[in-house]
Chains A and B, each alone.
Chain A
Amino acid sequence: MAISKEDVRYIANLARIGLSESEIEHFQKQLEGIFEYIDQLKKLDVSAIMPAAHVLDIKNVTRPDIVKSSLDPKLVMDSAPAKQGQFFKVPKVIEG
């Protein structure tokens, strides 16, 4: 499966990563390698193997509905790159 430069730009945009032209070529090659490997895997007979969404053999892990103390907002806000009062401050985003 061939990965085009357009594919790389699209994926980079979805991941909010800015890439230069040379980086695009660089990752194009790397991604192609990954996809070739996946194509190899596709050839395997997995009809006898159950699909797995999770690598560990555990299930039904829950916790009781009991309140635990949250972080001290002051400490959290001190680590925020930008704040306004006790709000995180970000460049204006309008729905959409």
Chain B
Amino acid sequence: MEYEPVIGLEVHVQLNTATKAFCGCANVFGVRENTNICPVCLGLPGALPVLNALVLKSAVKVALAFNCSIRDYIKFDRKNYFYPDLPKNFQISQFDKPLSERGFLDIENNGIKKRVGITRVHMEEDAGKLIHSESEPFSYVDYNRAGTPLLEIVSEPELFSPEEAYAYLTDLKMILRYLDVSDCDMEKGSLRCDANISLKPKGEKKLGVKTELKNMNSFKAVKAGLSFEIRRQTECLEGGEKIVQETRLWDEKKEQTFSMRSKEEAHDYRYFPEPDLPPFSFAQKEIEEIRASLPELPQARLKRFMDSFGFLEKEASVLISDKDLADFFEACLKVLPLHKKIANWLIGPISAELNNRNVSICALGLTSERLVRLISLVENGTVSNLVAKDVLFQMLETSKDPDVIISEKNLSQVSDTDELKKMIEEVVAANKKSVDDYLAGKENALMYLVGQVMRLSQGKANPKMLRDLIAARLKQ
């Protein structure tokens, strides 16, 4: 029998506010353990949480960007469970009256566009961090992360392949980055994803029993984990076994999911309204003000780049995929109105370099001024495109201006007719056969000779002049 997977994703994203969700402790990553803690985030008796205004605002921004409706009446609830990373023995979260519901995200996978439902976006707080001792029967607790503002973004079970899940996550992260509400760094845990997946016979309406996958540290891991789980569940079903509803952990090294084998204890969180936090509500005017303050989002920017610059969707997609890259493009454009040339540099060699180094354009050590200068030097004939690429890499290595590199390495294009002619004579003398071929009508031979002179000039010969000069010389 053929089975179809049904996938729903739950994304947790840490907000990049200066302080935690309910107290004034700094919301920072990578400081010494237990330095940003106070009575509120430690859950000491009598401490009162107060919601960070910016958390609420950022949450509304995200909800609106995902086309959710903001509830008229918003409240927080306590989710009760015992675990050492949770100092209060409950997590402040939202249960039945969350911030927002019923949104959607338009994604594109393999050229096919699709609308995926967003069930809800709600606010909650992160837990602390546990380090388990390998040699001793102890765990060590750091509460710096406790109380960090989190948004939970839940999709409808409307993703039907690991690839769609990947596209959903990529587009979701892109929007969050555009909103500048989180650094979305999965390695630091500021963006995390759990996945629910079940299989059903092809064409069947009723959903099968699902498993929940956790511990995937990258979007690629989500894709791999889901692919594995589809194979595993398919084998189970084909072997006549039943799928057990359970949480499974992705093991990156073994490339498999494993049952968490949790104790047979039903999750009974006994949600109840958080008595220490009052409810929240917005006037329609306030929501519209926040909506108006949203930056241009990726889809709008894509359309604008295609409409105003005549880019193909493929080209514009690369530029807008990273907000910083798109900003960089527009910064260059302000100085040098050659959108096509700038785009070619960014989509080509610079994107390749960003991928190689796995960094954003901001961390590449390239300023828009320097790139624009380099492009101008190509445009005014100082260097060829080929040499310019080399100059670019040296700019990245040395952080020097392109002019400095070109003069230090003597890379200026040779546009001096006499100098070029001298090199042409040398090549013509050494390649009698190609000259004869050309004269016999083989056009290709000309390109070969151009290539030889280019080599002799170490790539510095002005290609256009060179072609003209050789053609003229051969016709003599």
Contacts and interface: CB of A to CB of B under 8 A. Distances in A.
Q: Indicate the member of A65, A77, A95 with the most B CB atoms within 10 Å.
A: A65
Interface string B70-106: 0000010000101110000000000001000000000
B57 to A, nearest CB: 9
Contacts of B52: 62-63, 65
B37 A54 contact: no
B18 A14 contact: no
Contact of B18 (A59, A65, A86): A65
A46 interface: no
Interface residues of A, number: 36
11 contacts: A61-B50, A61-B278, A65-B55, A68-B25, A71-B37, A87-B140, A88-B143, A90-B140, A92-B137, A93-B132, A95-B249
B84 to A, nearest CB: 4
B261 A59 contact: no
B131 A87 contact: yes
A40 interface: no
Interface in B220-268: 249, 260-263, 268
Contacts of B80: 14
B358 interface: no
A94 B56 CA distance: 33
A85 interface: yes
Interface string B106-145: 0000000000000000000000001111001111111100
B386 to A, nearest CB: 50
A76 B24 contact: no
- Chain B interface extent, by class: 35 or more
Contacts of A56: 278
A37 B377 CA distance: 85
Contact of A73 (B34, B50, B82, B260): B34
A94 B261 CA distance: 11
A67 B25 CA distance: 6
Given A66-B19, A86-B34, A60 B281 contact: yes
Contacts of B38: 68, 70-71
B75 A71 contact: no
Contacts of A84: 138, 140
B273 interface: yes
Contact of B279 (A59, A69, A87, A92): A59
Interface string A49-83: 00001111011111111111111010011000000
A5 B341 CA distance: 78
Contact of B132 (A58, A63, A76, A94): A94
Contact of B138 (A53, A59, A92): A92
Which 10 A-B residue pairs are closest in the complex by CB-CB distance?
Answer: A68-B24, A87-B140, A62-B53, A53-B273, A65-B54, A96-B262, A88-B141, A63-B50, A90-B84, A92-B137
Given A84-B140, A95-B260, A58 B32 contact: no
A63 B24 contact: yes
A89 interface: yes
A66 B132 CA distance: 33
A76 B56 CA distance: 30
B280 A71 contact: no
A61 B51 contact: yes
A52 to B, nearest CB: 9
